[in-house]
Amino acid sequence: MFSGSLGVGIDQLQGQQSHPSQGQQAIPPLSPGPQSKHPSQIAPFQGGYWVCLDGGAGITYALGPLMAESTATPAELKREVARRRSFAIISHPDAGKTTLTEKFLLYGGALNLAGSVTARKNQRATTSDWMELEKQRGISISSTVLQFDYKDCVVNILDTPGHKDFSEDTYRVLTAVDAAVMVVDAGKGIEAQTRKLFEVCRKRGVPIFTFMNKMDRPARPSLELLDDLENVLGIHAFPLNWPLGDGPRFKGVYDREKKQVHLFERTPGGAFKAAVEVSDISDPAVREKLDSDVYDQVTEELELLDGAGADFDLAAVAAGELTPVFFGSAANNFGVQLLLDRFIELAPPPAARTSAGKTIEPESPEFSAFVFKIQANMNPKHRDRVSFVRIVSGKFERDMNVYHTRTGDRVRLSNSMRLFAQDRETVDDAFAGDVAGLVGNHDFLIGDTLSTEKSLSFDEIPRFAPECFAWLNNASTAKFKRFRAGLSQMLKEGVVMEFTPIEAVGAYVPLLGAVGPLQFEVLQHRLQGEYDAETRLEHGSWSLARWLKKKEGETKEDDRPEMSMGVTLVRDSNGYLVALISSEWVLNTFAEKNMDWIVSDSPFPPPFE
């Protein structure tokens, strides 16, 4: 019935009576119980129980706080899980991903005025790009979590970086969602980063919805764009609507399901919802709005699509074999609401996850979640750290007690927030599919599991080897504490990875690894802006990192592989042996010399404490 271990004496326990924390009941006076190991008194408070046991010799101890059962009924869990829609927006840089995120918020009622990535400095900034460097560059550097209610659904949007140097952050986010919206620049088609992110979604079985953006600019032929999806990405495409022209002649879209034309009016800077006029394709008003050649081309293409005879298959969408395609212009609000409405109807609710072969259903009464992102200093007013968790099952309730399963510690989740970019509000409860921000100095790491079951552990987070390396020098010895505190926080966020040389001597100069060089620039910018710590980089000559472990038996502290020129041995933050290697040729030579070693291109998972 109860979990925990003896530890708090009665004097300590009663010392807390007169100073209960907010929302916690005062612990009633306790007295030694009978000479037995059975509970002699239970004092409930919000989030758990203090259980008093006789520890022998007339001394009473407390077991607590303990895991309290969820207050949610099976019917409530089923209903709330069915309402959740959690998705990421992915694309190549500059395809319009963040602009589409902003317009979802506009049509979802979360914003009255949408900010644009290309807006002038005296206009409002994009909501999801909150970091100062993001505002300066006009790109997304950090994934952002946004939540709003729409048509009786709770929508969790995760806007991700498009730049390849931040792909690791994007891959982590894709572990926390149930679907993805892939934004494609209609003037360019499928680009390199889009292809990489698509493959990650496919491996994870994430359903993909496609939005052909920037139709208000000259675009490639629409049928060619569909061919791109099938030939380049290898996924079948089914257009649910069709564009009426492109560039200056783009007037709206045709809804193939409802057989309706949606004619749009431009709005100043795309800041307000575009007015919509709905009619049939054969309506004379449609002919008048469209150029004659555009009208003829649209009707011909629609006949070709209808003649293909393919039916829309929702099961194929869920399996990742078919992508629904929408056309529009996020900057001008063309087609955004059509995409949002159909996505809410077609996207799947939260799915089951696995832990050590055990299936965890989202409607399960036991609470479980995993940390997929850590971010500090999101708001200068709040110098704190936020751990973003994806709830996998059960009901989250503020002040609840859970196990931090990596360490075995019990943690009280008392400061939980719903994040809207930088802005925040307290969350009292949440359900599977939701993303919550846990504020505080918890010793959480990316990939950690939180659960009311101590044995549960999700292995969801992908780990990547860095390809760029540099020493980070502190420019001012007087600010070393700030430098160390800032770097420690950046490491916990996963911005970069730290290595310790085997033969480390002299003053502490951290050796860091990153997937791309822009990560180092972000690191230096944030250390300067958030911690007033100026730094200087010295780049290393390596381009590869490989994790090492003996194939047979335990790898001992003094075990070493046979070395090659261009190889340096270091240890990662988990104590694993790592080889930093200068080139592919050197890697091949090194691997041939060490056939009795595992040479892994992915970091080994952190050991349980």
Answer with the residue of higher pLDDT: 378 or 291: 291
Contact 373, 447 (CB under 8 A): no
Round to whole Å and give the CA distance between 247 and 207.
Answer: 30
Closest among 227, 221, 371 to 294, alpha carbons compared: 221
Spatial CA neighbour of 468 closest among 566, 589, 582, 586: 582
User: Phi, psi (5° rounding) for residue 406?
Assistant: -65, -40
Which residues are within 8 A (CB) of 512 and not within 5 positions of it... i.e. 6 or more apart? 469, 470, 471, 472, 496, 497, 498, 499, 520, 523
pLDDT for residue 382: 59
Cite the DSSP H helix spans in 166-256.
Answer: 167-174, 192-204, 222-232
Q: Work out the pLDDT band at 172, boundaries 50, 70, 90.
A: confident
pLDDT at 423: 66
Q: Half-sphere exposure of 207 toward its Cβ, with a 13 Å CA cutoff?
A: 25
Interatomic CA distance for residues 505 and 540, integer angstroms:
17
> 47 and 401 in contact (C-beta within 8 Å)?
yes
- Quick one: pLDDT at residue 11? 41
Counting every residue written for the chain, the total comes to 609
381 against 244, higher pLDDT? 244
Q: What six digits make up the tokens of 516?
A: 């791309």
Task: Give alpha helix (H) positions in 44-191.
Answer: 74-83, 97-107, 132-137, 167-174
Of the listed ranges 60-64, 302-306, 313-317, 352-356, the least confidently predicted one is 60-64
State the pLDDT at residue 541.
Answer: 94
Angstrom distance (rounded) from CA 404 to CA 411? 7
**pLDDT computed for residue 41 by the predictor:** 46
CA 547 to chain centre: 26
Average confidence score pLDDT of the chain: 81
Q: Is the per-residue pLDDT at 61 higher than 50? A: no
508 pLDDT higher than 80: yes
What percent of the chain is predicted at pLDDT more than 90?
48
Residue 513 vs residue 137, higher pLDDT: 513
Worst-scoring range by mean pLDDT, 216-220, 367-371, 489-493, 537-541? 489-493
Q: What is the CA radius of gyration of the chain?
A: 27
What pLDDT is stored for residue 540 in this prediction? 95
With a cut of 60, say whether residue 245 has pLDDT above it: yes
pLDDT for 275 equals 64
How far is Cα 261 from Cα 604, in angstroms, rounded to an integer?
A: 54
Q: How confident is the model at residue 163 (pLDDT cuts 50, 70, 90)?
A: very low
Please report which confidence band the pLDDT of residue 143 belongs to, taking 50, 70 and 90 as the band edges: low
**Sheet holding 409-413: strands in order across?**
409-413, 400-404, 449-451, 368-376, 385-393, 435-439, 416-420, 423-426
Mean pLDDT of 153-172: 72
- Per the DSSP assignment, residues forming a β-bridge with 84 are 154
Instruction: Pick the range with the lowest mean pLDDT from 59-63, 77-81, 300-304, 427-431.
Output: 59-63
How much is the average pLDDT of 385-395?
93
Crossing angle of helices 480-493 and 517-531, in 10° steps, is: 130
Binning pLDDT at 50, 70 and 90, where does residue 36 land? very low
More confident residue, 39 or 462: 462
As given in the structure block, the two tokens for residue 231 are 């030939």
* 277 burial via Cβ count (<10 Å: 0-12, 13-18, 19+): middle
Cβ atoms 508, 580 nearer than 8 A: no
Q: Pick the residue with more confidence: 20 or 169? A: 169
The rounded distance, in Å, linking the Cα atoms of 285 and 168 is 49
CA distance 71 to 266: 49
Task: Give Cα 592 to chain centroid, integer Å.
Answer: 38
Cβ contact 42:52 at 8 Å: yes
Residue ranges of domains in the chain, CATH in brackets:
8-63 (no CATH), 76-243+310-346 (3.40.50.300), 353-451 (2.40.30.10), 468-600 (3.30.70.3280)
Cβ neighbours for 159, distance < 8 A, ≥ 6 positions apart? 88, 89, 97, 98, 101, 128, 140, 143, 144, 146
Q: 380: cis peptide before it, omega within 30°?
A: no
Per-residue confidence (pLDDT) for residue 274, from 0 to 100: 67
Structure tokens that stand for 192 in this block? 């390199």
Return d(Cα 262, Cα 255) in angstroms, integer: 7
pLDDT above 70 (res 179): yes
Which of 198-202, 325-329, 467-471 shows the lowest mean pLDDT across its residues?
A: 198-202
And the tokens for 520? 């180092």
> Per residue in 246-298, pLDDT tens?
999 999 999 999 999 998 877 776 666 766 777 788 888 888 888 999 999 99
For every residue of 399-412, DSSP letters joined together read TEEEEETTTTEEEE
Digit-coded pLDDT (tens) for 93-122 = 888 888 898 888 888 887 665 444 333 333
Residue 237 has pLDDT above 90, yes or no: yes
* The predicted structure's pLDDT at residue 22: 42
Please check the confidence at residue 57 and state whether its pLDDT lies above 60: no
189-219: per-residue pLDDT in tens?
998 878 878 887 888 889 999 999 999 999 9
> How much is the average pLDDT of 524-537?
92
| Higher-scoring residue by pLDDT: 441, 554 | 554
- Residue 18 has a pLDDT of 37
Mean pLDDT, residues 77-96 taken together: 91
Q: What is the pLDDT of residue 87?
A: 94
Q: How far apart are CA 304 and CA 297, in angstroms?
A: 11
Q: Quick check: 131 pLDDT over 60?
A: no
